[in-house]
Amino acid sequence: MTELELDPVIHAQARLRVVATLATLDAGDRMAFPKLQKLLEMTAGNLSTHLRKLEEADYVQIDKRFEGRSPATYLELTKKGRRAFETYTETLEALLRGAQ
């Protein structure tokens, strides 16, 4: 049996939860940083670090903009990120089937 590779970018608990959250939104939707932070119950610094890593892998698009006068950051899963998450879950399901 060939060993199934799991994407190392997603295969970290915090980043997996970030990606799972953003993948729950419809394609074309983005989430504000405070909302994402609240849903994940992570500290801002911790979340920022993981988002930076996901951005480096081109899995998450970080969109900084101004809403009126206050800055707002929106996070969106890229097509590549969405595909990576799907591949990741499919691999897990394949591993699960293999384990049974």
Binding positions for another protein, rule: CB under 8 A: 3-8, 11-17, 20-21, 23-52, 62, 64, 71-74, 76, 89, 92-93, 95-96, 99
Q: 76 forms bridges with which residues in the sheet?
A: 61
- Closest distance between another protein and the C-beta of residue 40, in Å? 8
**Smallest distance from another protein to CB 8, Å:** 5
Minimum CB–partner distance for residue 81 and another protein (Å): 14
- The answer to whether the Cα torsion of 60, 43, 38, 32 is positive or negative is negative
Question: In terms of DSSP bridges, do strands 70-77 and 60-67 run parallel, antiparallel, or are they unpaired?
Answer: antiparallel
